[in-house]
Amino acid sequence: MRLLSRPITALALAGAFHLSSLHTPLRAGESFPTIDYSVSVPDPASKMFEVSAMLHGVIQDTTTFYFPIWAPGAYDIVNFGKYVSDFTAVNADGSALTVGHPDSNSFTLAGAKAGDVKIAYKVRSIGLIPNSLWFGLADISPTSAFAVGTALFGYPSGGKSLPYTVHYEVPAGWDIAIGLDPVPGASRNTYRARDYDELVDAPLDMGKVQRYEFMVGGKPHTINLHSPVPFNDSLGRVLVEMTRRIVEQETTFFGEMPYDRYVFQHYLVRPVRGDHDYGALEHRNSSTYRMPYSEQSDIVRELAPVIAHEFWHLWSPKRIHVAQLGPFDYQHPPRTISLWFAEGLTEYYAKLFMLRSGVMDKDRFLREANDEYVSPTFGKSPRLAITDLSVKLPDLPPSESEMLYTKGPVLGMLLDIIIRQRSNGKVSLDDVMRRFNEEYGKSGRTFTDTEIIGMMENFAGVKLEDFYRKYIDGINPIPYADFLPQIGMKIVSKRTRRPTLGAALQMVDKKGLRVLSVVPGGSLYNSGIKAGDILTRLQVTYQGQGVRYDLSEFPSANIDPLFAEIPSELTIDLAVERNGNSDTKRVTVSLGIFDINEMAIDDAAPPAAVELRKKMLNF
């Protein structure tokens, strides 16, 4: 997953029907148990998916049918069963089963007879809900329908390992893009999955779209594009070429293409008030993107690092992962301390591959690395270790995962430096990741959280435990000055002026941003806003255009970046609550003076360090 705001255990399910009972010898005339789904959107205006399934030889007299509480990769608890209604079940002869609903995510089925059972239900479009991300939910619009698999499909007790099929009824004039393979000889838009994990890891994407196709390594790749303004031919070619280069770079890195086909599902939307739900989510051979669109933005440039991030997830964590990240327990949230490995290293390689493929040049790499990684982490001790954040993530709002994408890639870069330096340039983090793929990705074996750093030491032939203890499982500030000179880099300090509210803010759940303190003479101070006030809404007007933000849904307590592109002073309107009373304050956002620290090339670096940097960063 990749978030833009600044984005599981292996226990068997208990139940009345166990997997072992599925493998008893079949009698004459019986067929192997399977589950065949059908999904339609007969009326987009109703905001309802209609789902049915034939359960062949699966249901016993009493069975529990489950809906997941979370979607893999999204790290949040949704309780998908809450959005299911009108659940019915009938035997092959048409007689009804007794359906119970003991909790929001399960239904009990009683009275099944020998043979097939048909179930049917509706799934409500979920759209945007607090603490969850759009691309991990389900949404129907007049021109499209998207759904992550966990929103549409449930499973019977013990039935996750069965083969599944799904047939999609596609409305006239719409197209469909999905990662599953078609069923040979079956009706159009009918797909197969080896098991439930594969079924729900292929999100539905259909609607009125632009479609682009390209080949890499003899395998087809599809780009499905939903955009408020259609791409012209030139922009479409740029999108395809950028995507192709990333695919070629990353598949060459691992020396394999672990899929038969791949689908990129892009949803571009115009920004609206309170909507910061941008980012992407990875799947087994597809990925889904929801990104802001503006005629003034270089949308392909903005998509590139996100695509590079999600495509790397094909290997980590889709194939290289700890046991908690698959096979999945859909009734309990994931608890792992190693998301620094799954997400942080992924973000490091996303930037690295853009650099190596030529999609990004040296200057842009340094600028973005400084803005996104170095500045947020320089000289700071985080309030909790990144391992602790990993464990707590399912219970936190998406904005709290920010450290995975700021400190995480820094850890990747520094581990790469250490491995290269301590091995005298003979081994790199590249070699380590390829070994992980050979030992675990290709074999399907998993490992534990606590084994990761030891395996990295084994693969690299160098000691890394001290680094892990201080900076991954600890909260020591990153000592850039100790690491960067080893690759001919340094930290430089400079003074800059940029717009700022001149205040320390704190998120208040469902209310807005509390003012912790104000800087005398600063923007909020001069407007009469005091510590203890709560900022609930913000309107920015610049060059005749106004944008409103609902601060109760804002993904960060720092809103200064909203003004980063404004070259001079501007006026904003802030809705403020004080002692239960509401008021609107007009605030002039003034320029503040900041001392910032940035990573830069050291022109006086020794040749050995320069050579190490060239091998690592390609400049």
Residue spans of the domains in the chain: they are: 2-312, 369-487+611-617, 495-598
CA dist 384 to 76, 211, 505, Å?
Answer: 19, 44, 19
pLDDT of residue 275: 60
Instruction: Kindly report, residue by residue over 146-190, the tens digit of the pLDDT.
Output: 999 999 999 999 999 999 999 999 999 999 999 999 999 999 999
Higher per-residue confidence, 479 vs 555:
479
CA distance 320 to 571: 50
pLDDT of residue 403: 87
CA dist 490 to 393, 405, 601, 614, 616, Å?
Answer: 33, 22, 6, 15, 16
pLDDT of residue 453: 97
Q: Residue 255 pLDDT > 70, yes or no?
A: yes
Average pLDDT, the chain: 89
Across the range 557-564, mean pLDDT stands at 78
Please enumerate in sequence order all residues whose Cβ is within 8 A of that of 284, keeping only pairs 6 or more positions apart, or say none: 179, 198, 201, 202, 259, 314, 318
pLDDT band at 101 (very low <50, low <70, confident <90, very high): very high
Instruction: Kindly report, residue by residue over 389-442, the tens digit of the pLDDT.
Output: 999 887 777 667 888 999 999 999 999 999 999 999 999 999 999 999 999 999
Least-confidence region, from 82-86, 181-185, 584-588: 584-588
Helix (H) or strand (E) holding 459: helix 452-460
CB atoms within 10 A of CB 480: 20
pLDDT of residue 365: 94
CA dist 242 to 237, 354, 359, Å?
Answer: 9, 9, 7
DSSP assignment of 125-159 equals -----TTS-GGGSEEEETTEEEE-HHHH--EETT-
- Domain 495-598 fold is Pdz3 Domain (2.30.42)
Provide the angle, in degrees to the nearest 10, between the axes of the packed helices 452-460 and 402-422: 30
pLDDT of residue 18: 26
CB atoms within 10 A of CB 23: 10
pLDDT band at 19 (very low <50, low <70, confident <90, very high): very low
Q: Residue 21 pLDDT > 80, yes or no?
A: no
- Extended strands (E) in 441-510: 489-500, 503-508
CB of 52 closer than 8 Å to CB of 38: yes
Q: Residue 9 pLDDT > 50, yes or no?
A: no
CB of 281 closer than 8 Å to CB of 7: yes
Q: Residue 7 pLDDT > 80, yes or no?
A: no
CB of 459 closer than 8 Å to CB of 418: no
Type of residue at 380: K
Percentage with pLDDT > 90 across the chain = 68
Instruction: Kindly report, residue by residue over 444-461, the tens digit of the pLDDT.
Output: 999 999 999 999 999 999
Phi first, then psi, for residue 170 (nearest 5°) are: -95, 120
pLDDT of residue 246: 95
Q: Which residue has the tokens 């395809």?
A: 240
Across the range 515-519, mean pLDDT stands at 92
Strands 164-169 and 34-40, sheet pairing: parallel
CB of 540 closer than 8 Å to CB of 527: no
pLDDT of residue 588: 87
Provide the angle, in degrees to the nearest 10, between the axes of the packed helices 345-357 and 429-436: 110
Instruction: Kindly report, residue by residue over 479-493, the tens digit of the pLDDT.
Output: 999 999 999 999 999
CATH number assigned to the domain covering 2-312: 2.60.40.3650
Across the range 541-553, mean pLDDT stands at 73
Q: Residue 22 pLDDT > 50, yes or no?
A: no
385-418 core/surface letters (b: 16 or more CB in 10 A; e: else): bbbebbbebbeeebbbbbbbbbbbbbbbbbbbbb
Q: Residue 72 pLDDT > 70, yes or no?
A: yes
Least-confidence region, from 29-38, 69-78, 214-223, 362-371: 29-38
Type of residue at 71: A
pLDDT of residue 2: 62
Instruction: Kindly report, residue by residue over 284-337, the tens digit of the pLDDT.
Output: 999 999 998 887 778 999 999 999 999 999 999 999 999 988 889 999 987 899
CA distance 379 to 205: 44
